[in-house]
Amino acid sequence: MLFDPRPKEKRGDIFDREQEIEMIKNSAKEYPITLILGIRRVGKSSLLKVVLNELESGIYIDVRKLHFDSGGWITNESLLKAFENGLNSLSHPIKREVFQYLKRVKGVSIAGLQLNFEPEVSLSEILEALNKRSRVIIAFDEAQYLRFYGRRGGKEFLTLVAYAYDNLPNISFIFTGSEIGLLHDLIGVSDYESPLYGRIYNEITISPFSRELSIEFLRQGFVEAGIKIREEEIEHAAELLGGIPGWLVEFGYNYIKTKSFENAIKGVMRKAEKFLEGELRELEKRSPRYILVLRAISMGFDRWTLIKEFLESRSGKIPNSRLAAILEALQKMSWINAEYRDRGKRYRIIDPVIERVIKERFNL
């Protein structure tokens, strides 16, 4: 069902992403490392899960959940537990085969179709055992949070990936990231100090739907649900939601329940508010000025001088270097981007739903 709000796991539930699915599948077979990039709620997790299900050899780890569940700092123990859960989630036929390779690894205990890691288990030895299979894909969703692993900003983990890259040809890694700049910084193939410096990888970007595709997605979703809706309402929703599949799904799901355009849009905004509460708390830990910058841009203060005036009127003087660092960080986290128009650089919030919620609902 197109308007099912849960992440999709079957190709038939995905709308107009055939090319992206095949690109990811081919990349996983041909490259040791694949990056899947795209803004929040564009559908990266769904595409990843479809690919892993079709290839039947993928271990899925949600790093964002791992980060929050472990209290903000990912330990070796919590990573091993997530890896253990990923292995236990494999389909039964694949699980039986994979467990045959793992049963001789020190620290691995297997009872029937349930695997457990003891404290002394080594993740490198697990990868070495998995490498004996024809192909194993290890996927880290929202991988930029791996920068909170260990004491060196995730470099211990990247050293393991580099070892697999150089020595384990049947192991492939997929990393997805909504905070695109931070994921690039983490992987660091152009950074001489990164364990992955100089390694070859493939990059696939998942873009929002065009206006035309957004309209067609909504049409098909309502036909599938047996719901009649006016064409002008579909077109208006497509304009408001910016082609982001997660918000289009939320609108369709709410419209089915309420039969009201206004209530469906309100439902999208409530969902965005809930999402933003946690995200803005994370930003505020860095500095309240991150949030003030987003507030300024949402209100139309989109040039450097206007943003600085807005900040200084609310939080005092700010050096140019500090404002530059904040804007760069927000771009790396894919909150904003910069574009040149009207003979100058302008900043905008990438997601129009998030922009609207920040502007109208949050008293920042």
Mean of pLDDT over the chain: 94
In a domain, 238, yes or no: no
Phi/psi of residue 3, nearest 5 degrees = -95, 15
Same structural domain, 144 and 28: yes
In a domain, 21, yes or no: yes
Same structural domain, 308 and 173: no
How would residue 364 be classed by pLDDT, with cut points 50, 70 and 90? Answer: low
Among the listed ranges 23-32, 125-134, 273-282, which one has the minimum average pLDDT value? 273-282
Residue span of the structural domain in which 348 resides: 287-360
Same structural domain, 183 and 54: yes
pLDDT for residue 71:
86
In a domain, 179, yes or no: yes
Percent of the chain with pLDDT over 70: 99
Q: What is the mean pLDDT of residues 131-158?
A: 94
Question: What's the total number of domains in the chain?
Answer: 2
Same structural domain, 198 and 311: no
Same structural domain, 62 and 201: yes
- Which of 205, 223, 254 is the last residue in one of the domains? 205
pLDDT in tens, 178-205: 999 999 999 999 899 999 999 999 999 9
In a domain, 232, yes or no: no
pLDDT for residue 148:
94
pTM over 0.85: yes
| Res. 319: pLDDT tops 70 | yes
In a domain, 294, yes or no: yes
CATH number of the domain where residue 99 is located: 3.40.50.300
In a domain, 200, yes or no: yes
In a domain, 64, yes or no: yes
> What would the two tokens of residue 32 be?
């040791």
In a domain, 221, yes or no: no
Question: Is the pLDDT higher at 362 or at 151?
Answer: 151
What contacts 24+ positions apart, CB below 8 Å, involve 212-219? 213/16, 213/243, 214/238, 214/241, 214/243, 214/248, 216/16, 217/2, 217/15, 217/16, 217/245, 217/248, 218/248, 218/251, 218/252
Radius of gyration of the chain (CA): 22
Same structural domain, 191 and 311: no
- Which of 183, 205, 227 is the last residue in one of the domains? 205
Same structural domain, 31 and 177: yes
Q: What is the mean pLDDT of residues 7-28?
A: 94
| Res. 363: pLDDT tops 80 | no
Same structural domain, 179 and 63: yes
- Which of 141, 175, 205 is the last residue in one of the domains? 205
pLDDT in tens, 221-271: 999 999 999 999 999 999 999 999 999 999 999 999 999 999 999 999 999
CATH number of the domain where residue 300 is located: 1.10.10.10
